[in-house]
Chain A
Amino acid sequence: MSIEVRTAAPGPRPPQPDPTDPRPRPQPGQARHSGWSISDRVGLAAAWACGIALCVAAASIVGFMAWKGVQYLQLEMLTSSPEASMDQSKSGGFLDPLVGTLLLTVIGIAIAIPVGVGIAVWLTEYGRPAGLARLVESGVEVVAGTPSIVLAIFGLLVFQQTFMGIFSFTAEGGSVFGRSFLTAGSMMALIALPLVIGSTREALNSIPRHVREASYALGKDKASTIRRVLLPSARSGIATGATLGMGRICGDTAIVVVLLGASMQTTPESGPLGLLRGTGSTLTSYVYNNSPSGEGNAPEKAYAAAFVLLMIVLLLNFAVGLIGKRNKPQWN
């Protein structure tokens, strides 16, 4: 195809225009259009077709979910706990899953931010020995690519060890259950970690070198430069990463199903931190359980919960945009 085009373009020289020719000269617009070969036109048409298909798909997904949400969401669903019932009008709301989603997100991000920022600072500011830094970099990439279901059952394996009993509950025979908000939250942190590291690194890299040099010139050492100068400047980048991470945590189902027990109501353990050591559910597992493939089969509830979940994701997305626009330090 391209060979044909190439020979056609330079080709034999076109005959010089004859000034006495009465036929109209080609207009500039026509001349540009004559450069579109068949393959170019097909490509352009394909791009338009894909673009329009994308718009239609996006509009129908967003519109459909909004319609279903408005149709089925009632305010009391947000304030009542789920009950076991075959009748959709009696099966309660999804207060517990909503609280579960918030709790799990907070736990996950509270672990991911300090660890992620620490790793990002080490990678950008220290990064010695270089080989280790490169290994850590690819390690982060491997974690980002690991399916969440694999993280989930790896977490179960780890937290079912006897000495991990404090994170969940221990049965009579000494076997550890391994499923709780803490264990699920720590695996959720791994999902958010690559996003936090990624945007923190980007923010740190965008700080010009002379800012660091100015700090050194004032007698600050590297550690306090990081604490007093670099991290405050990278705040919006860290916030962006954290928000993206929270979006991922909210949306994950596999870890909840395997590691949170996905019990219908939040069931705290006794003792201090009982809630965190207990099991529960989130909006994602609630949607899954109430869909026709789960046990509940209450599609109206599932649509309503999915709508709430979508609103949370929308809010987080909006926050990312807002953070990106504001608070961005300008270096000149």
Chain B
Amino acid sequence: MEAASLNEVALQEPSLEVDRTDRRVELLLGALASTILLLIAGMIIFVLVKALPSFTHNGLAWFGAGGSVDEQLMDIFNSPAEPDQYVYHLRAWPLLYATALITGVAVFISVVFSVLAGIFIVEFAPVRLRKVIEPVVKLLAAVPSVIYGLIGILVVVPFVAHHLISEGRKESVAYVIQLDGTSILVGIFILTVMICPIMIAIIVDALRSVPDKWVEGAAALGVNRWRAMRTVSLRAIRPAIVAALVLATARALGEAIMLSMVAGSVGFAPNPLDGLTFFLEPARPLASTIVDNSEGLSVAPFGQTMYAFAAILLVSSAFLSFAGWAARKSFSRYTLGAR
């Protein structure tokens, strides 16, 4: 209130000319800020319009299973040049399933691990270790995913191929899929290693910002350090945990290069009925599919199919940020201010 009145005094006092520049600056900056909305609207419209033929030709069956998705993509790529003979037949279930499976499992493991590791760093770690591990976590959060992919394909994949996959296991599924070490197991593992530092960095910052008085109050009531962390600090930082969750899920959902390197790049839906072999079967999420096929974008029906994948990713990530915003909003009444 005070600032507003002072503000008005300041605006009335100088000449009209100054007032007008001020107004112009506001309009200019406002227009700049609004372009970001235009950009998002443009992105959604452009991508959806481009993706439409793929959806309309398949209907809801687009999301279903049926046949080999890689063969279907090949047929689309090789479809005749006449627009009325374009092939669009696609059952994208294996790709959707792979995206949901790899992202979901990796994010779930990461949340549990990151919260525990964050508590360890803030409350229990020896001071010397803490001083080293915090910058290292920040560094790991910034390491490009392609480096994780490189380590994955040159170290983890050969290890899995030589030590975890026996000949018998290879033969047991040889008639459907080849096991060569690139698998959802490695994909989930590397993805977890990749997103954990991102979440830990946010959670540690948030735990630091919990007022000491709150934790001390809990301690004064006689609870131990662990329970003070669990009942006071963790509840206070729920918005930050949601923020970390959203950020990490967005990263995992959009991770293309690393997963195309280590998860097998085969449009295959791993079958949970195969027992432990399930984890050793390859898969390929949506984002990797787009990157792997980026050369073919100029083939009209094939490009439209790729934009359909992009549309799914775009819609789910937009939905994700909205869900995160809603979740933080519902917590913010009881906790530290939502960021």
Contact = CB atoms under 8 A, between A and B. Distances in A.
Interface of A: 32, 35-36, 40, 43-44, 46-51, 53-55, 57-59, 61-62, 64-65, 115, 118-119, 121-123, 126, 128, 132-133, 135-136, 138-154, 156-158, 190, 193, 209, 212-213, 216-217, 219-223, 226, 244, 247-248, 250-254, 257-258, 284, 287-288, 291-293, 299, 302-303, 306, 309-310, 313-314, 316-317, 321
B191 to A, nearest CB: 13
A32 B224 CA distance: 7
B40 A139 contact: yes
A36 B200 contact: no
A251 B142 contact: yes
A315 B36 CA distance: 31
Given A51-B125, A292-B154, A293-B153, A150 B47 contact: yes
B143 A310 contact: yes
A212 B136 CA distance: 38
Contacts of B14: 219, 221
A61 B142 contact: no
Contacts of B2: 209
Contacts of B174: none
Contacts of B144: 250-253, 284, 309, 313
B139 A253 contact: no
A193 B105 CA distance: 30
A36 B291 CA distance: 51
Interface of B: 2-3, 6-7, 9-11, 13-14, 18-19, 21-22, 25-26, 28-30, 32-34, 36-37, 39-40, 42-43, 46-47, 50, 113, 116-117, 119-121, 123-125, 129, 133, 135-140, 142-147, 149-151, 153-155, 193, 196-197, 200, 222-224, 226-227, 230, 246-247, 250, 253-257, 260-261, 265, 287, 290-291, 294, 297, 306-307, 310, 313-314, 317-318, 320-322, 325
B318 A288 contact: no
Contacts, number: 282
B30 A251 contact: no
Contacts of B139: 62, 313-314, 317
Given A40-B224, A302-B150, A313-B139, A145 B321 contact: yes
B318 A145 contact: yes
B307 A153 contact: yes
A147 B146 contact: no
Contacts of B113: 50, 53-54
A36 B230 CA distance: 13
A195 B310 CA distance: 23
Contacts of A35: 222-224
B30 A122 contact: yes
A61 B318 contact: no
A51 B116 contact: yes
A145 B250 contact: yes
A250 to B, nearest CB: 7
A146 B42 CA distance: 14
Contact of A51 (B120, B135, B314): B120
A150 B306 CA distance: 10
Contacts of A46: 116
Contacts of B150: 287, 291, 302-303, 306
A153 B10 contact: no
Contact of A154 (B43, B140, B146, B147): B43
A147 B34 contact: no
Contacts of A217: 6, 10
Contacts of B138: 317
Contact of B226 (A43, A115, A158): A43
A-B pairs, 3 with minimum CB distance: A147-B254, A251-B144, A51-B120
Given A146-B317, A148-B256, A222-B26, 8 more contacts: A43-B116, A53-B113, A53-B117, A157-B50, A157-B307, A251-B145, A254-B256, A293-B149
Contacts of A254: 254, 256-257, 287, 291
A158 B223 contact: no
Given A48-B120, A126-B26, A138-B321, A40 B227 contact: yes
Contact of A149 (B43, B254, B321): B254
A223 B25 contact: yes
Given A51-B116, A145-B317, A123 B33 contact: yes
B230 to A, nearest CB: 7
B120 A147 contact: no
A139 B119 CA distance: 32
A31 to B, nearest CB: 10
Contact of A306 (B29, B129, B147, B250): B147
A141 to B, nearest CB: 5
B122 to A, nearest CB: 10
A316 B39 CA distance: 29
Nearest to B19: A221
Contacts of B294: 152-153, 257-258
Contact of B147 (A140, A146, A220, A310): A310
A55 B26 contact: no
A144 B261 contact: no
26 contacts: A35-B224, A48-B120, A50-B117, A58-B137, A58-B140, A61-B151, A64-B151, A65-B147, A122-B26, A132-B34, A136-B33, A141-B321, A142-B317, A144-B250, A145-B320, A145-B321, A146-B254, A150-B254, A193-B36, A209-B3, A216-B7, A216-B10, A222-B22, A253-B256, A288-B261, A291-B150
